[in-house]
A and B are shown apart, each in its own frame.
Chain A
């Protein structure tokens, strides 16, 4: 299992500074977000060409890219329009492909039957249109994909290249049993976002409610050989770089 640095620990850093941060923290892989963080590859002062130059210069690999959510709706009017939304996601995926990444993460829309229908149709349509990519569907509080039951409903309806993004932070936030979630869905897990929390508050790994060692055991038992993305957010217990280095070393010791 490869460790990946998430920009959530330094959301205000633009891509070159984030890659420098990841290098100094000892990572060879990072993930990026389409939104939320300044390291987005659609930052106005960054082209795909310059982004690639930054990756090449640091030798860091983009392991995974978080694209927009598949809500089935137009962002500006909230009108239901799956094809409009799919064109947005398709554009994001081709942007990622230009950055040489083939693993994309997304979430669903509201917790409605309509959103579930659009998610199933949309994911299958994207997989059919774009070969050689994997789509990881992530759990998130309040999203159409929030709990074990949601994934048990949807995954059998999706093509094989649709996987699960297990996000420990959001499972802890919604008070779910992480080990049951991981054990039940192990065969379809494509990516893991690791965050330890006390309630909803991120804390240093080992200080919160995340059963990390047991989770890693479940993943090993399932022959999971994908990435573990270290998500530190709102670090107030140490310097962000020091906290990231310490977390990497802590998790490497457990692997």
Chain B
């Protein structure tokens, strides 16, 4: 029984992202929250201590409760329904938290970025691009509007695909969207993804995205996975006419 409908896949192709709710059980959500709280420098019962707390990655992705959100839920199967059955390498999501800032001056981020690009601190080796096919951002806490929801620029995956047909993957310093959107009359507009715990947002690996400021009460508890095809090294430089060539699930 498939998890995604034809309409889901059509939406993903057109927009580059797809939001599904209720992807985790109550126990999976609770276990992931407990694991995260174990590593936080804040009092779970005192929201005042959550403001500008830390760390952003309180537990490793190898923590069983974190891994279970991908390996013991339908989320990996959903990703396979997009990219193709048995085509993806298994990978645990990593916690990526944004703490409440304590003020209410929120706005959508001006610019986004593509993942996998070198910065001096992100671990990506200089002069390489850490390519992958589909990202999955999983919420294990309720993310309200203005609560640092994962922010996407719908349609930017198509712009990126066209851009990289004629430009080096390395031509965008830091993966910034400014280069990608330069000269466009109608660049995509940012959209914040909100939802209850158990919400998952799938996004194309060349989708412009960003975090945003957290002006809400809750800590933005998200887990992010970047899933690549098993044959990534054979196709990472390919830019076929049909951008869905390597997406058997929806091609």
Which residue in chain B gives the minimum CB-CB distance to A46? B168
Contact bitstring A52-83, B, C-beta under 8 A = 1, else 0: 00000000000000001000001111000000
B166 pairs with A87, CB closer than 8 A: no
**A254 CB to closest chain B CB, in angstroms?**
38
Residues on B with C-beta less than 8 A from A91 are: 125, 127-129
A88 pairs with B126, CB closer than 8 A: yes
B170 pairs with A42, CB closer than 8 A: yes
B233 within 8 A of A: yes
A95 within 8 A of B: yes
A47 pairs with B125, CB closer than 8 A: no
Residues on B with C-beta less than 8 A from A98 are: 236-238
Contact bitstring B166-180, A, C-beta under 8 A = 1, else 0: 111111000000000
A88 pairs with B125, CB closer than 8 A: yes
B238 pairs with A49, CB closer than 8 A: yes
Residues on B with C-beta less than 8 A from A68 are: 127
A84 and B123 alpha carbons, distance in the complex (Å): 8
A45 within 8 A of B: yes
Residues on B with C-beta less than 8 A from A130 are: 233
B247 within 8 A of A: no
Chain B, interface size: which category? 20 to 34
A44 and B127 alpha carbons, distance in the complex (Å): 12
B127 pairs with A47, CB closer than 8 A: no
A94 pairs with B171, CB closer than 8 A: no
State the interface size on chain A (CB cutoff 8 A).
26
**B43 CB to closest chain A CB, in angstroms?**
37
B165 within 8 A of A: yes
CB-CB contacts below 8 Å: B90-137 with A: 120, 125-129
B52 within 8 A of A: no
Most chain B CB within 10 A, of A85, A90, A95, is at A95
Given contacts A48-B239, A88-B126, contact A76 B167 (CB under 8 A): no
Which residue in chain A gives the minimum CB-CB distance to B118? A76
B164 within 8 A of A: yes
A48 pairs with B167, CB closer than 8 A: no
CB-CB contacts below 8 Å: A16-50 with B: 41-50
Residues on A with C-beta less than 8 A from B127 are: 42, 68, 75, 88, 91
A45 and B163 alpha carbons, distance in the complex (Å): 10
**B98 CB to closest chain A CB, in angstroms?**
27
A47 pairs with B128, CB closer than 8 A: no
B168 pairs with A84, CB closer than 8 A: no
A238 and B170 alpha carbons, distance in the complex (Å): 36
Picked from A42, A46, A49, A84, the residue with its CB within 8 Å of the CB of B125 is: A84
Residues on A with C-beta less than 8 A from B129 are: 91
* B interface list, Cβ under 8 A from A: 120, 125-129, 164-171, 233-234, 236-239
8 sampled A-B residue pairs with Cβ under 8 A: A41-B168, A43-B168, A47-B165, A47-B166, A47-B169, A48-B238, A94-B237, A98-B238
Nearest 3 pairs of A and B residues by beta carbon? A44-B171, A98-B237, A48-B237
